[in-house]
């Protein structure tokens, strides 16, 4: 049974399997992404209700631009739809939305919707819902290195860089409230890799993989994986 007193502080999810789910159903990939969006909404609600402090989802990677124009346009259309239909509920649930990644280059309508979401929820104090959007971890690390170099040249900082300072230059750093590293990373659909997601932050994360395709990922499945996490013995490199 899930112990609500020992929940992970930060859960990160690689939401995989929308396309395979759609193919099994004889539907278009965009329909699969729509079903995945509905699953995501349920997991945001469940996380908020359980008292999870941070939830990060991998919504659109820097590599996803390689997909067909129809699929990419459909994904961003769903983002607009999500904001239009669910912003009020997110705000009422005291959810604070943040973006990890460079979302300045996404289609204008999607960017406008995301800007509205960030502004509306910026003062909320409940679950912080991080949407990794046009995000890639290698790009994030290179961005941090270049920002540190620029600040050094400008005289804004001096001396060697330690881990704590480096982390502040990541998307999960100061600008987003110093998001703690994920305690638990979940990947659906049977794949067992990080796919350029939170490489720095995942150093001591627990991983749980499930064969469930993302559109079929229910709050009940979610709780079962949280229970699995609670059975782990986390030592962070030490000895018991």
CA 133 to chain centre: 8
Q: Which residues touch 104 (CB under 8 Å, ≥6 apart)?
A: 111
Task: Tell me the Cα Rg of the chain.
Answer: 18
Q: Active site includes 174? A: no
Question: How far is it, in rounded angstroms, from Cα 154 to Cα 121?
Answer: 33
CB 97 within 8 A of CB 129: yes
Among residues 18, 34, 64, 178, which one is catalytic?
64
DSSP 148-207: HHHHHHTTS--S---HHHHHHTSTTSGGGT-PPPPSEEEE-TT--S-SSSSTTTTTT-EE
- Looking up tokens 């204008």 gives 108
Question: How far is it, in rounded angstroms, from Cα 106 to Cα 175?
Answer: 20
Q: Which residues touch 70 (CB under 8 Å, ≥6 apart)?
A: 30
Q: Active site includes 16? A: yes
Among residues 3, 16, 102, 123, which one is catalytic?
16
Catalytic center residues:
16, 64
């Amino acid at each position: 049974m899930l112990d609500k007193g020992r929940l992970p502080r930060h859960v990160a999810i690689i939401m995989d399997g929308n396309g395979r789910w759609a193919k099994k159903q004889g539907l278009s990939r965009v329909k699969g992404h729509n079903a995945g969006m509905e699953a995501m909404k349920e997991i945001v609600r469940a996380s908020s209700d359980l008292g999870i402090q941070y939830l990060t989802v991998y919504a659109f990677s820097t590599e996803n631009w390689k997909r067909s124009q129809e699929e990419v346009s459909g994904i961003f259309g769903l983002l607009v739809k999500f904001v239009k239909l669910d912003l009020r509920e997110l705000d009422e649930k005291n959810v604070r939305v943040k973006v990890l990644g460079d979302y300045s280059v996404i289609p204008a309508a999607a960017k406008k919707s995301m800007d509205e979401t960030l502004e509306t929820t910026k003062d909320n104090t409940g679950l912080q819902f991080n949407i990794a959007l046009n995000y890639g971890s290698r790009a994030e690390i290179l961005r941090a290195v270049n920002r540190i170099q620029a600040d050094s040249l400008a005289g804004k900082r001096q001396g060697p860089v330690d881990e704590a300072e480096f982390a502040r230059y990541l998307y999960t750093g100061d600008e987003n409230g110093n998001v703690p590293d994920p305690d638990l990373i979940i990947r659906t659909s049977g794949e067992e890799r990080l796919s350029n997601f939170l490489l720095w932050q995942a150093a001591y994360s627990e991983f749980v993989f499930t064969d469930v395709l993302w559109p079929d990922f229910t709050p009940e499945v979610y709780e079962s994986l949280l229970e699995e996490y609670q059975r782990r013995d986390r030592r962070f490199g030490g000895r018991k």
